[in-house]
A and B are shown apart, each in its own frame.
Chain A
Amino acid sequence: MIVGSQKPIEEIIATTCDYKRLLVIGCGACVTVCFAGGERETEALASGLRLAMKHKKIKAEIEVEMNVRQCEWEFIEPLADKVEAADAVLSTACGVGVQFLAERFPEKRILPALNTSFMGGPTEQGVWLENCGGCGNCILASTGGICPIARCAKTMLNGPCGGSQNGKCEVSKDIDCAWQLIYDRLKSQGLLQLMTDYTPPKDWTPARDGGQRKIVREDLKIPND
């Protein structure tokens, strides 16, 4: 899933405090599950903003609306009247949702409340870890199911590098060396010979280097007639 976290409230206040009527729109999908923009967090954020405005002696109306998924036109549409009535919209969705709102309501100021961080999952309640870099050409089959694109600081394809110390990355002692993990996994599976296979430089075109990516499934499109 997409994992994000709320921006510091000071930053959110700075971008929203000029608007008298602010609509805060939460999202019921990924950001709910990662406790960044679901109903619970959105209401707490709105309450915090109202409190901040009161503290600054600024009169502002701050309302909350929830949305199933902000990255679907059909779910956004019912919010049109509320959005029109507001001076600005603060979205607690990921960057995708913010952009969908901005595209649907181009004349309206749409502001992000989250920093969208990565694709990953929880390792325990309250801790999320990045797992996938979205490179567009998956190599997990040869790396024991551990992604060096997302998890190696250098995105190395033939690791580890000399910065691997006692299983940790030189970038931080809190980060596991992805290639140490790959080594351990392959060893336990009796597949260590895969480490000796040379992986040539990757074609990054299917990744972001090829520009905004797009997947088209002609078989799923709704026929015009």
Chain B
Amino acid sequence: MSEENHIEHQANCPKKGHLWPAPPCQAACPVQTDARQYLSLIARERYHEALDVIMEANPLPSVIGRICAHPCEQACRRGQVEDPIAICHLKRFVTDKLGYSDGKVKVGLVPQTKEKSIAVVGSGPSGLTAAHDLARHGYKVTIYEKNAKPGGMLRYGILDFRLPPAVLDADIENVLAVGIELKTGVNIGKEVDFQDLINDNDAVLIAVGLSASRSLPIDGVDLDGVHLAIPVLEAINEGQSVELGNDVVVVGGGNVAVDVARSVRRLGNKSVKMVCLEARDEMPAHDWEIEDALVEGVEMHCSWGPDKIVGKHGRVSGLDFKECTCVFDEDRKFSPQFNEEKRNVLPADTIILAIGQAGELGFLEYSGVKVTDSGRLEFNHETMQTSHPMVFATGEITSGPGAAIRAIAGGHRAAAAIEAFLDERTPVYQEPLEALDSVPEHIAASMYKTPRRRMPKLPDEERSTDFKEVELGYSEEDALREAARCLGCTAGAFVDESKCAACLTCVRICPYGVPEMVGDKAYMNPQACQSCGFCASECPAKAITVDLTEEHLLALQIGLDTLEVEVAHLGAGPRVGFVCQFGHAWGADRTFDAEASMPENIRFIRVLCPARLEPADILNTFENGAERVFVTICAENYCHYKTGNGLTERRLDYVRSILDGIGIGGDKLVSYQIGQDTSLAEILKEMST
């Protein structure tokens, strides 16, 4: 590394108050969720803290943990060498594990501290998020929803097998619980005049989404048996009967089309075919949804454009279509080209058009809020204002169709804009983050590889028979193993140059050969650093820090204070186990039953490799009341970071020598190398006496 680059990198060190490049997952997330942090917390079984981290950015964690398009995973650097981390599944795991998605976790009321009030029209993800932000900041917020229940397209556009209504209800209940008033079944423009909202509030937010399906200007769309996608989805979601035939063709290649197709498959023994302009690899629907649809028996007919709907006696009998040779022009603009010579007909008694959505903005008539001739809102992306300064807008009505997490990001932005407007200042929005670049090839080649945990799903044969949730959620073991795959991008190591003694220890100790000397100071390239923390725990000057490693010690000290008293009657004092959370140190019976029956005088401190522990960490444990301490290390040749076993063992020897000298005895510090046959239950039994 050149001196110049080094200086630039060091100047960006977060420890000096500047920004280091962000983990790519966080930079890719529209709401910049600190996924690295919550994965690390999950890996150490600190689920409540993980949920707190998730909810800093996202008020609908159970929902997003199920349906997110997860751009974070596309950006994940583990994806360079094998499948990326299942960040979305892990988010869901936390909400399920804690009962948040079941409504068992209740959020408290935030007192209203400000006089001003805001009306939000629409209770989809953007409206809920904006309302949540504003209410938490003390404003009086009322949401107006035209449907009987809140959630917008989350409720009426996404089917129960992807997002069970109880899960949506649980999230929304907690959003509202901060002190938001919700008025459902209110059609603005009918029951309540939009002008009244402007008159009665200090700001109004339009977050109505795109709730109307677009139709197609082709012959036959007026025939019986032709439906628009959204009303069909709404009806199915509401449990209303929908008159559909047995040969159903869904026109469209987006997520709504796939959702409709999968839903209709569940209504009985129907043949469901999808026809779309795009080639299979161009379809806008998520790959994983398309794969699920195929598994469930939906047929795909790609690269075909509908020409006309044919019918008999006023009812649909089939769809005529022609080959689509190209969907987009050179500028990636929608400009489909067809081969008129190549045609096909699909017999059908039902056709569902899922070719796009539009907003319903009729309520804005005479309100002073301008709508363009093409039916779009006049909207300033910088201020989030419409043509009426008091009226703001967000969500798909401003950005077009997109992922729910994007709508949530829009909700945050709208809330920030409204607050700024009410405070008469310029809005301050979340700045985009610069993402850390890819893992250098030589480092990637030496990384420990461990496959992504598969999401358990309903058996194929059960799927098309009802609306039960298809994805069943990770087990705790799945979640722990998956979370431990995270590379901890940009968590460190950071060198405090004022303390670096240029001893070269980090250069010698790093299992990946990352540290280098730049002048007389050590430097770790964040692109290459695997955040194992070995350099930090070995550095004699304590000049190196790695995030994600230190805070567990605090928990330890708090826990031990009380434990010493609690177990006084047992005759065997507190024992502490530093337990490696990488799967290779789990042994034969790492069932959670073993921990459920854990002796009451034992506490675990979960670490991602015990070689991160300094001698003082272990001595502090004794200082704080532990009578015996044990450390689990991985089976031979299975250290996640290559050299952790040896480092740990020799560090434990050093601590034992101190314990011997003190008179406590080095035998009070035990290590267990855990192999496939090792029983954790036996270790716990042995340690408890």
Do A and B truly interact? yes
Residues of A within 8 A of B (CB): 8-10, 13, 28-29, 32-33, 35, 38-41, 43-44, 46-48, 50-52, 54-56, 125
B458 at the interface (CB under 8 A from A): no
Which of A29, A33, A55 contacts B662 (CB under 8 A)?
A: A55
Name the distance in Å between B322's Cβ and chain A's nearest Cβ: 73
Query: Are B508 and A40 in contact, CB atoms less than 8 angstroms apart?
Result: no
A-B contact pairs, 20 of them (CB 8 A): A8-B661, A10-B661, A28-B499, A28-B501, A33-B503, A35-B540, A39-B540, A39-B542, A40-B614, A43-B542, A44-B619, A48-B661, A48-B662, A51-B622, A51-B623, A51-B664, A55-B662, A55-B663, A55-B664, A125-B505
B380 at the interface (CB under 8 A from A): no
Name the distance in Å between B480's Cβ and chain A's nearest Cβ: 30
Query: Are B501 and A29 in contact, CB atoms less than 8 angstroms apart?
Result: yes
Which of A8, A44, A56 contacts B616 (CB under 8 A)?
A: A44
Nearest A-chain residue to B622, judged by Cβ: A51
B45-95 residues at the A interface, CB under 8 angstroms = none
B541 at the interface (CB under 8 A from A): yes
- Please name all residues of chain B whose beta carbon is closer than 8 Å to the beta carbon of A43 when the two chains form the complex: 542, 614, 616
Give A55 to B615 CA distance when docked, in angstroms: 18
Given A44-B614, A55-B664, A38 contacting B541 (CB threshold 8 A): yes
Give A41 to B502 CA distance when docked, in angstroms: 16
Nearest A-chain residue to B620, judged by Cβ: A47
Nearest A-chain residue to B650, judged by Cβ: A126
Nearest A-chain residue to B657, judged by Cβ: A9
Which of B503, B620, B658 contacts A32 (CB under 8 A)?
A: B503
Query: Are A28 and B541 in contact, CB atoms less than 8 angstroms apart?
Result: yes
B514 at the interface (CB under 8 A from A): no
B417 at the interface (CB under 8 A from A): no
Query: Are B542 and A47 in contact, CB atoms less than 8 angstroms apart?
Result: no
Nearest A-chain residue to B662, judged by Cβ: A52
Give A155 to B548 CA distance when docked, in angstroms: 53
- Please name all residues of chain B whose beta carbon is closer than 8 Å to the beta carbon of A29 when the two chains form the complex: 501
Give A40 to B614 CA distance when docked, in angstroms: 8
Give A180 to B619 CA distance when docked, in angstroms: 45
| Further pairs besides A9-B661, A32-B541, A44-B619: 9, Cβ < 8 Å | A32-B540, A33-B540, A39-B499, A43-B542, A43-B616, A47-B620, A51-B619, A51-B622, A51-B662
- Please name all residues of chain A whose beta carbon is closer than 8 Å to the beta carbon of B664 when the two chains form the complex: 51, 55
Give A13 to B661 CA distance when docked, in angstroms: 9
Give A40 to B542 CA distance when docked, in angstroms: 6
Which of B616, B655, B659, B663 contacts A40 (CB under 8 A)?
A: B616
B490-538 residues at the A interface, CB under 8 angstroms = 499, 501-503, 505, 508-509, 538
B539 at the interface (CB under 8 A from A): yes
- Please name all residues of chain A whose beta carbon is closer than 8 Å to the beta carbon of B614 when the two chains form the complex: 40, 43-44
Given A8-B661, A44-B615, A39 contacting B541 (CB threshold 8 A): yes
- Please name all residues of chain B whose beta carbon is closer than 8 Å to the beta carbon of A13 when the two chains form the complex: 661-662
Query: Are A40 and B662 in contact, CB atoms less than 8 angstroms apart?
Result: no
Query: Are B619 and A48 in contact, CB atoms less than 8 angstroms apart?
Result: yes
Give A55 to B658 CA distance when docked, in angstroms: 13
Nearest A-chain residue to B499, judged by Cβ: A28
Nearest B-chain residue to A45, judged by Cβ: B658
Nearest A-chain residue to B660, judged by Cβ: A9
- Please name all residues of chain A whose beta carbon is closer than 8 Å to the beta carbon of B661 when the two chains form the complex: 8-10, 13, 48
Query: Are A40 and B622 in contact, CB atoms less than 8 angstroms apart?
Result: no
Name the distance in Å between B138's Cβ and chain A's nearest Cβ: 44
- Please name all residues of chain A whose beta carbon is closer than 8 Å to the beta carbon of B623 when the two chains form the complex: 47, 50-51, 54
Give A29 to B503 CA distance when docked, in angstroms: 10
Give A52 to B662 CA distance when docked, in angstroms: 5
Nearest A-chain residue to B536, judged by Cβ: A40
- Please name all residues of chain B whose beta carbon is closer than 8 Å to the beta carbon of A8 when the two chains form the complex: 661
- Please name all residues of chain A whose beta carbon is closer than 8 Å to the beta carbon of B619 when the two chains form the complex: 44, 47-48, 51
Query: Are B540 and A41 in contact, CB atoms less than 8 angstroms apart?
Result: yes
- Please name all residues of chain A whose beta carbon is closer than 8 Å to the beta carbon of B538 when the two chains form the complex: 40
Give A16 to B530 CA distance when docked, in angstroms: 42
Nearest A-chain residue to B658, judged by Cβ: A48
Q: Lowest 7 CB-CB distances: which A-B pairs, in order?
A: A9-B661, A47-B619, A38-B540, A39-B542, A44-B615, A33-B503, A52-B662
Nearest B-chain residue to A48, judged by Cβ: B658
Query: Are A38 and B542 in contact, CB atoms less than 8 angstroms apart?
Result: yes
- Please name all residues of chain B whose beta carbon is closer than 8 Å to the beta carbon of A41 when the two chains form the complex: 540
Name the distance in Å between A60's Cβ and chain B's nearest Cβ: 12
B663-680 residues at the A interface, CB under 8 angstroms = 663-664
B621-648 residues at the A interface, CB under 8 angstroms = 622-623
Give A52 to B655 CA distance when docked, in angstroms: 13
Give A89 to B168 CA distance when docked, in angstroms: 63
- Please name all residues of chain B whose beta carbon is closer than 8 Å to the beta carbon of A28 when the two chains form the complex: 499, 501, 541
- Please name all residues of chain B whose beta carbon is closer than 8 Å to the beta carbon of A10 when the two chains form the complex: 661
Query: Are A40 and B539 in contact, CB atoms less than 8 angstroms apart?
Result: yes
Give A35 to B505 CA distance when docked, in angstroms: 10
- Please name all residues of chain A whose beta carbon is closer than 8 Å to the beta carbon of B620 when the two chains form the complex: 47
Give A38 to B508 CA distance when docked, in angstroms: 18
Nearest B-chain residue to A9, judged by Cβ: B661
B576-621 residues at the A interface, CB under 8 angstroms = 614-616, 619-620
Give A32 to B504 CA distance when docked, in angstroms: 12
Which of B501, B508, B616 contacts A33 (CB under 8 A)?
A: B501
Query: Are A9 and B541 in contact, CB atoms less than 8 angstroms apart?
Result: no
Give A135 to B540 CA distance when docked, in angstroms: 30
Name the distance in Å between B365's Cβ and chain A's nearest Cβ: 71
Give A46 to B658 CA distance when docked, in angstroms: 11
Which of B542, B622, B658 contacts A9 (CB under 8 A)?
A: B658
Give A224 to B426 CA distance when docked, in angstroms: 59
Query: Are A40 and B615 in contact, CB atoms less than 8 angstroms apart?
Result: yes
Name the distance in Å between B65's Cβ and chain A's nearest Cβ: 41
Give A5 to B435 CA distance when docked, in angstroms: 45
- Please name all residues of chain B whose beta carbon is closer than 8 Å to the beta carbon of A125 when the two chains form the complex: 505, 508-509
Name the distance in Å between B549's Cβ and chain A's nearest Cβ: 14
- Please name all residues of chain B whose beta carbon is closer than 8 Å to the beta carbon of A44 when the two chains form the complex: 614-616, 619, 655, 658
- Please name all residues of chain A whose beta carbon is closer than 8 Å to the beta carbon of B505 when the two chains form the complex: 125
Give A129 to B3 CA distance when docked, in angstroms: 33
Given A43-B616, A44-B658, A52 contacting B663 (CB threshold 8 A): yes
Name the distance in Å between A182's Cβ and chain B's nearest Cβ: 28
Give A191 to B614 CA distance when docked, in angstroms: 49
- Please name all residues of chain A whose beta carbon is closer than 8 Å to the beta carbon of B540 when the two chains form the complex: 32-33, 35, 38-41
Residue from the set A10, A40, A41 with the largest chain B CB neighbour count within 10 Å: A40
- Please name all residues of chain B whose beta carbon is closer than 8 Å to the beta carbon of A56 when the two chains form the complex: 663
Residue from the set B542, B622, B664 with the largest chain A CB neighbour count within 10 Å: B542
- Please name all residues of chain B whose beta carbon is closer than 8 Å to the beta carbon of A39 when the two chains form the complex: 499, 540-542
Query: Are A32 and B501 in contact, CB atoms less than 8 angstroms apart?
Result: yes
Name the distance in Å between A87's Cβ and chain B's nearest Cβ: 20
Give A48 to B658 CA distance when docked, in angstroms: 7
Give A40 to B503 CA distance when docked, in angstroms: 13
Query: Are B541 and A40 in contact, CB atoms less than 8 angstroms apart?
Result: yes
Give A38 to B615 CA distance when docked, in angstroms: 13
- Please name all residues of chain A whose beta carbon is closer than 8 Å to the beta carbon of B616 when the two chains form the complex: 40, 43-44, 46-47
Give A54 to B615 CA distance when docked, in angstroms: 18
Nearest B-chain residue to A31, judged by Cβ: B540
Nearest B-chain residue to A124, judged by Cβ: B508
Nearest A-chain residue to B654, judged by Cβ: A44
- Please name all residues of chain A whose beta carbon is closer than 8 Å to the beta carbon of B499 when the two chains form the complex: 28, 39
Give A171 to B540 CA distance when docked, in angstroms: 33
- Please name all residues of chain B whose beta carbon is closer than 8 Å to the beta carbon of A47 when the two chains form the complex: 615-616, 619-620, 623
Give A39 to B543 CA distance when docked, in angstroms: 9
Name the distance in Å between B554's Cβ and chain A's nearest Cβ: 16
Residue from the set B538, B622, B658 with the largest chain A CB neighbour count within 10 Å: B658
Name the distance in Å between B621's Cβ and chain A's nearest Cβ: 9
Give A216 to B477 CA distance when docked, in angstroms: 69
- Please name all residues of chain A whose beta carbon is closer than 8 Å to the beta carbon of B509 when the two chains form the complex: 125
Give A85 to B384 CA distance when docked, in angstroms: 60
